[in-house]
Amino acid sequence: MNASLYIHVPFCVRKCEYCDFYSGVATAADIDRYIDALQRELELRFPQGLKPATVFMGGGTPTRLEARQLFRLGEVLRSRVDVSAAEFTCEINPGTLTPEKADALAAMGVNRASFGVQSFQPRFLRALGRAYEAGTATAAVVMARAAGIVRVSMDLMFALPGQTLDDLRHDLQRALEHGTEHLSLYALTYEDDTPLTRQLQNGEVEPCPEELESEMFELVGDTCARAGLLRYEVSNFARPGAECRHNLVYWTLGDWHGVGAGAHAMLDGEITANAADFKYYTAALLEEGKLPVARREQLGPLARAETLLLMGLRLTRGVELARFERFAGAGFNQLCGETARRLQDLGLLELTPTHVRATPKGLLLLDSLIVELASSLEAAV
């Protein structure tokens, strides 16, 4: 399969309280210059063009761009990238979409809209610092579909401070009412150096109790299953055939290119990352004519196999043992067999002739399960 493509658009109306992704506030002139730099990066990286299997445009908030800028970005992409056969996903903040922007995304080739809804309830949106009103999510979905974007996904969050099971049940029901084919349900995490984490440290918010978070996890799975959306990854649910193909590339440790400030790439086990500073990024490309690569690292066999476990055990289908052996240079049973059998006896892991996967009980304890397998892998070599 051809390598995929990730495009980073690092601009937001304002920073959300929980977010630790690279993004910033910029003027229209800054964004115009950024699109010029993206064009130059595409020219340098893909002189013969690129036909990716999937494309994902994230941020930041891609729909922070004006409609004219999105139309121009589409022209820039078409000059180097053939998206005719690609699943092309764009992240959308519901409050920033207009009919004109939706048309620009469709013209660009976007065929899958991923809406960062997080909650349909105003008090939770305010607490998360989301820059839109709850009712705009429905209007945004209507705009996207009217423009011809055929697939719709929504992101929701749970384990929010003060959230109850009924609150979560309400959000799930509202999301399903939109006929979405895909739902991503993420438990709130308190990332380092974010406003929400500082509120937690200052005693201004109370974290969700662990028992309640576990009940929410089970509620999410049960509700989605009843609606015909099957869990295929620990936090992601889809109707059969509507899984996010781009994210599956990440979870199976496939190959992808990354363009834009702060974008990462993975090609045959080599990780590269662009500088996470859009002003440096544009200056490097437009004034110096060089790629703004800030990191380059070749994963060794052990690190690559460990990363495959870290990502692949998130999937309900688990990790393909043949792929693990190809990366590690040795079989899973040889490297992790004793630990895996112990975890299997505890009901946390399932081993088949072709895959290793977490059980439903194991998914609840996924971080600990991965740590144990990674430790056994390191001890075996």
> Do 97 and 196 reside in the same domain of the chain?
yes
> Do 223 and 326 reside in the same domain of the chain?
no
Residue 71 near residue 35 (C-beta atoms within 8 A)? no
Distance CA 322, CA 174 (A): 41
DSSP state of 380: T
Distance CA 14, CA 240 (A): 35
* pLDDT at residue 123, as a whole number: 86
Question: Of 214, 235, 251, which residue sits at a domain end?
Answer: 251
DSSP state of 271: E
Question: Of 210, 229, 251, which residue sits at a domain end?
Answer: 251
pTM for the structure as a whole: 0.92
Residue 147 forms part of a structural domain = yes
Task: Provide the domain count of the chain.
Answer: 2
Residue 32 near residue 282 (C-beta atoms within 8 A)? no
The CA dihedral of 308, 309, 315, 316, to the nearest 10 degrees, is 140
Residue 131 forms part of a structural domain = yes
Measured between alpha carbons, how far is residue 192 from residues 19, 71, 196, 242, 365 in Å?
10, 36, 9, 33, 22
CATH of the domain at 85: 3.20.20.70
> Do 52 and 114 reside in the same domain of the chain?
yes
* pLDDT at residue 12, as a whole number: 77
> Do 230 and 136 reside in the same domain of the chain?
yes
Sign of CA dihedral 324, 329, 333, 338: negative
Residue 373's nearest CA partner among 324, 323, 322 is 324
* pLDDT at residue 17, as a whole number: 45
Question: Of 190, 218, 251, which residue sits at a domain end?
Answer: 251
Distance CA 331, CA 305 (A): 10
> Do 325 and 233 reside in the same domain of the chain?
no
* pLDDT at residue 286, as a whole number: 98
Q: Element (H or E) spanning 367, and its range? A: helix 366-379
* pLDDT at residue 208, as a whole number: 83
Q: Within 134-277, where are the H helices?
A: 136-147, 165-177, 195-201, 210-226, 245-251
Residue 4's nearest CA partner among 250, 271, 252, 257 is 257
> Do 205 and 345 reside in the same domain of the chain?
no
* pLDDT at residue 125, as a whole number: 85
The two tokens of residue 46 are 């893909």
Taking CA 296 as the corner, what is the angle to CA 244 and CA 236, rounded to the nearest 5 degrees?
Answer: 15
* pLDDT at residue 295, as a whole number: 96
* pLDDT at residue 65, as a whole number: 96
Domain of 92, in residue numbers: 4-251
Averaged over successive runs of 10 residues, the pLDDT of the chain (381 residues) comes to 94 57 76 98 98 96 96 97 97 94 98 95 81 74 96 94 95 95 91 71 79 94 97 97 98 98 97 96 98 97 96 97 97 95 97 96 93 89 67
* pLDDT at residue 189, as a whole number: 78
Can you name the residues that pair with 296 across neighbouring β-strands?
Answer: 272
